Amino acid sequence: MKIYFAGAIRGGREDSAFYLELVEQLRPYGTVLTEHIADEQLTSLGESMDDRAIHDRDLAWLKEADCLVAEVTTPSLGVGFEIGKATEWDLRVLCLFRPNTGRALSALIAGSDRLTVREYQDASQVKKIFDEFFT
Protein backbone atom coordinates (compact mmCIF):
# COMPACT_ATOMS: atom_id res chain seq x y z
CA MET A 1 0.00 0.00 0.00
CA LYS A 2 1.44 3.35 -1.08
CA ILE A 3 0.09 6.24 0.97
CA TYR A 4 0.29 9.89 -0.04
CA PHE A 5 0.08 11.99 3.12
CA ALA A 6 -0.93 15.64 2.66
CA GLY A 7 -0.68 18.57 5.05
CA ALA A 8 -0.19 22.32 4.81
CA ILE A 9 3.29 23.72 4.12
CA ARG A 10 3.11 27.27 2.77
CA GLY A 11 -0.45 27.55 4.14
CA GLY A 12 1.06 27.39 7.65
CA ARG A 13 2.99 24.93 9.79
CA GLU A 14 1.02 25.19 13.03
CA ASP A 15 -0.13 21.56 12.73
CA SER A 16 3.28 20.07 11.93
CA ALA A 17 3.38 18.10 15.21
CA PHE A 18 0.10 16.43 14.17
CA TYR A 19 1.53 15.62 10.73
CA LEU A 20 4.52 13.93 12.37
CA GLU A 21 2.27 11.87 14.62
CA LEU A 22 -0.02 10.87 11.73
CA VAL A 23 2.90 9.79 9.53
CA GLU A 24 4.24 7.66 12.39
CA GLN A 25 0.84 6.04 12.85
CA LEU A 26 0.47 5.41 9.10
CA ARG A 27 3.67 3.32 8.87
CA PRO A 28 2.06 -0.03 9.84
CA TYR A 29 -0.37 0.30 6.91
CA GLY A 30 2.06 0.90 4.05
CA THR A 31 4.78 3.14 2.61
CA VAL A 32 4.30 6.87 3.16
CA LEU A 33 5.57 8.58 0.00
CA THR A 34 5.58 12.10 1.45
CA GLU A 35 7.27 11.84 4.84
CA HIS A 36 8.89 15.27 4.36
CA ILE A 37 5.47 16.93 5.02
CA ALA A 38 5.95 15.99 8.66
CA ASP A 39 9.51 17.34 8.90
CA GLU A 40 9.47 19.79 11.80
CA GLN A 41 12.40 21.66 10.22
CA LEU A 42 10.22 22.52 7.22
CA THR A 43 8.86 26.08 7.50
CA SER A 44 6.03 27.87 5.68
CA LEU A 45 8.64 29.04 3.16
CA GLY A 46 8.51 25.47 1.85
CA GLU A 47 11.22 23.33 0.33
CA SER A 48 14.23 24.90 -1.37
CA MET A 49 13.53 23.05 -4.63
CA ASP A 50 12.17 24.76 -7.73
CA ASP A 51 8.33 24.97 -7.70
CA ARG A 52 8.00 23.11 -11.00
CA ALA A 53 10.13 20.25 -9.66
CA ILE A 54 8.03 20.07 -6.47
CA HIS A 55 4.79 20.08 -8.51
CA ASP A 56 5.98 17.35 -10.88
CA ARG A 57 7.38 15.16 -8.08
CA ASP A 58 4.25 15.49 -5.93
CA LEU A 59 1.84 14.71 -8.78
CA ALA A 60 3.97 11.71 -9.80
CA TRP A 61 3.78 10.43 -6.21
CA LEU A 62 0.02 11.06 -6.10
CA LYS A 63 -0.47 9.15 -9.37
CA GLU A 64 1.57 6.26 -7.94
CA ALA A 65 -0.30 6.19 -4.61
CA ASP A 66 -3.14 3.85 -3.66
CA CYS A 67 -4.70 6.38 -1.30
CA LEU A 68 -4.48 9.95 -0.06
CA VAL A 69 -4.61 10.71 3.66
CA ALA A 70 -4.96 14.47 4.23
CA GLU A 71 -4.92 16.48 7.45
CA VAL A 72 -7.34 19.29 6.53
CA THR A 73 -7.55 21.44 9.66
CA THR A 74 -5.17 24.16 8.41
CA PRO A 75 -6.52 25.59 5.12
CA SER A 76 -4.11 24.87 2.26
CA LEU A 77 -4.31 25.40 -1.50
CA GLY A 78 -1.92 22.52 -2.12
CA VAL A 79 -3.89 20.03 0.00
CA GLY A 80 -7.14 21.11 -1.67
CA PHE A 81 -5.51 20.76 -5.09
CA GLU A 82 -4.32 17.25 -4.24
CA ILE A 83 -7.79 16.24 -3.01
CA GLY A 84 -9.31 17.63 -6.22
CA LYS A 85 -6.91 15.57 -8.35
CA ALA A 86 -7.20 12.42 -6.21
CA THR A 87 -11.01 12.42 -6.42
CA GLU A 88 -10.74 12.74 -10.22
CA TRP A 89 -8.22 9.90 -10.35
CA ASP A 90 -10.41 7.61 -8.19
CA LEU A 91 -7.91 7.24 -5.37
CA ARG A 92 -9.35 6.43 -1.98
CA VAL A 93 -9.22 9.63 0.09
CA LEU A 94 -9.34 10.04 3.89
CA CYS A 95 -9.55 13.58 5.31
CA LEU A 96 -8.82 14.13 9.01
CA PHE A 97 -10.25 17.25 10.64
CA ARG A 98 -10.03 18.64 14.18
CA PRO A 99 -13.24 20.60 14.88
CA ASN A 100 -11.99 21.68 18.32
CA THR A 101 -9.86 24.38 16.65
CA GLY A 102 -13.03 26.36 15.87
CA ARG A 103 -12.47 26.16 12.11
CA ALA A 104 -15.19 25.05 9.68
CA LEU A 105 -14.20 22.56 6.98
CA SER A 106 -14.68 23.59 3.32
CA ALA A 107 -18.08 22.53 1.96
CA LEU A 108 -16.31 21.13 -1.12
CA ILE A 109 -14.55 18.63 1.14
CA ALA A 110 -17.28 18.09 3.74
CA GLY A 111 -19.95 17.73 1.04
CA SER A 112 -18.16 15.27 -1.27
CA ASP A 113 -19.27 11.65 -1.51
CA ARG A 114 -15.98 10.68 -3.18
CA LEU A 115 -13.97 10.87 0.03
CA THR A 116 -14.21 10.03 3.74
CA VAL A 117 -14.04 12.77 6.37
CA ARG A 118 -13.31 11.75 9.94
CA GLU A 119 -13.08 14.13 12.88
CA TYR A 120 -10.66 13.70 15.76
CA GLN A 121 -9.48 15.70 18.75
CA ASP A 122 -6.03 14.28 19.31
CA ALA A 123 -3.66 11.72 17.83
CA SER A 124 -4.74 8.96 20.26
CA GLN A 125 -8.01 8.63 18.27
CA VAL A 126 -6.34 8.13 14.92
CA LYS A 127 -5.43 4.43 15.11
CA LYS A 128 -9.09 3.45 15.18
CA ILE A 129 -9.80 5.69 12.17
CA PHE A 130 -6.88 4.19 10.22
CA ASP A 131 -7.89 0.63 11.17
CA GLU A 132 -11.38 1.24 9.76
CA PHE A 133 -10.14 3.00 6.62
CA PHE A 134 -7.46 0.46 5.70
CA THR A 135 -9.40 -2.74 6.44
Contact residues: its own copies, CB under 8 A: 8-12, 44-47, 49-56, 58-59, 72, 74-85, 87-88, 103-113
Tell me the closest approach of the beta carbon of residue 79 to its own copies, in angstroms.
Answer: 6
Question: Which C-beta is closer to its own copies: that of 103 or that of 127?
Answer: 103
Cβ proximity of 13 and 44 under 8 Å: yes
* Cβ at position 31, least distance to its own copies in Å: 21
Least distance to its own copies, CB of residue 32, Å: 18
DSSP alpha helix (H) spans, the chain: 16-26, 51-64, 77-88, 107-110, 126-134
